[in-house]
Amino acid sequence: MAGYRPGLRLRVAFALALACLLIVGALGFTLFTASEELEEGLITQIVAEEMDYLVSRHRQDPAYRPQRSSNLLGYVARNAQEQERLPPFLVGLAAGKHEFFAGREEIHALVREVGGTRYYVAYKVGLHEQREEEFKLLLLLSIFTATVASLVLGYWLSGVVVSQVTDLAGRVGGLKPGQKHEVLSRPGQYPEVAELARAFDDYQARIRQMIRREQEFTSNASHELRTPLTAIKTSCELLLADGGLSDKSRIRAQWISTAAGRMADQIQALLFLARGQALGDTEPVAIADCVAEAVEPYRAEIARRGLALELDIARDAVLELNYPALRLVLSNLVRNAVEYTERGFVRIAYAAKRLTVSDSGRGIAAEHLPRIFERFFRAEAGSEGTGLGLAIVKRVCDHYGWRIEAESTLGKGSAFSIAFP
């Protein structure tokens, strides 16, 4: 399987099995080589002793004819006629040692000439070869058995060795940032595991301190930001309560109040997002209403640029999701669409659990598309944005399990789609 990496336990078992295979294999090779040399020496000795015996007996008794066994043959040739009656594989051999094959059988022969008489001893090594093959098979079987046994034993032993590491990993996996937990280091742990557990304990303590400081900062920042927003909303409410206020001023005051309320909601959403928490409970959300609220702050700019706002959303389209989260995502996508579109349209459509915000604006170069959701990344150096809008969109979508997709053609426009589960 591509990309598969065995765990520590399997790697320890494989390492032990490989070490056993190398050691037993080297030992087996040594034994096999030594046995071959021993066999060769034994055959040479048998042939030499048989030749000495044959020469000695024949000189004592010229009528002596050697006995032949299935694998040991002896011959005496006193003249050319007797040499021609020898077995074909001995005919024409010069004095000395010979090794050759007769058919498929290996033969070791020794030829000696004494006083005009030639003596021949031939030894068929088939039985030795058979024993050699049996010994080779036995060695291979022993190597295989030892390897399998070492693999099983190594797996069991490695399980004992890494059990504490596995236990520690399981407890670390159950930790939640910022929450108190029992100390990971315990009595009886191996020194290396205990050291690792203490390092995790120290790291968790530092994380809790950092989270506590971050929560204090975000709480203070939230309070400091909400105070002026509350003052703005209160002032707008007082203005709206003034019966002498002109219609034009009333509309502006209403717009300011709405923008202040939306800003307060966005601050709350971003604070929740920074803490890794949900933005509230899920509820049935009418997609058309959420889109209308997200678009409202940008209608004036859309009209000023002469853009066509196209909404293709059924009134009965409802999804179970978090309303502030969707509004935050849509607000960022609509703002980007309006900001980068000089003429043409801004279109928002919903169908089959997919909400798409598209435009006919400048588009995004293909080489920039993979990075558009990175924080502070801007495809255009002269852009007025901070590079956080799409990063916030991606983080919200990931948090709720929504899939965000982007398509764009430079000079023709872009389309961002949210696929809901």
Model confidence over 348-357: pLDDT tens digits? 999 999 999 9
Reported as a single tens digit per residue, the pLDDT across 62-118 is: 888 888 787 888 999 888 888 888 888 888 888 899 988 887 888 889 999 888 889
| DSSP string across 342-383 | SSSEEEEEEETTEEEEEESS----TTTGGGTTSTT--SSTT-
Q: pLDDT tens digits, residue range 342-377?
A: 999 999 999 999 999 999 999 988 888 888 888 767
Task: Round the average pLDDT of the chain to a whole number and report it.
Answer: 82
325 Cβ contact partners less than 8 Å away, ≥ 6 residues apart: 269, 279, 280, 396, 399, 400
More confident residue, 190 or 321: 321
Question: 278-419: what fold?
Answer: Heat Shock Protein 90 (3.30.565)
Residue 216: its pLDDT value, please?
A: 74
Q: In angstroms, rounded to a whole number, what is the distance separating the alpha carbons of residues 326 and 404?
A: 12
Question: Residue 73 CB: number of other CB atoms within 10 A?
Answer: 21
Q: Are 109 and 100 in contact (CB under 8 A)?
A: yes
Delimit the domains of the chain by residue range.
8-149, 278-419
Q: Give CA–CA dist 48/55, Å, rounded.
A: 11
Q: For residues 177 and 168, what is the distance between their CA atoms, to the nearest angstrom?
A: 17
Distance CA(270)–CA(267), nearest Å, equals 5
Rounded to whole angstroms, what are the CA distances from 363 to 182, 253, 332, 376? 53, 35, 16, 18
pLDDT in tens, 112-150: 988 888 999 998 887 777 777 787 888 888 888 888 888
Phi and psi at residue 356, to the nearest 5°:
-125, 130
Q: What is the pTM of this model?
A: 0.47
As a whole number, mean pLDDT of residues 205-221 equals 74
- What is the per-residue pLDDT across 149-161, written as a single tens digit (0 to 9) for each? 887 887 787 777 6
Given this model, what pLDDT does residue 105 score? Answer: 83
Average pLDDT over residues 285-307: 90
Q: End-to-end distance of the chain based on CA atoms, in angstroms?
A: 29
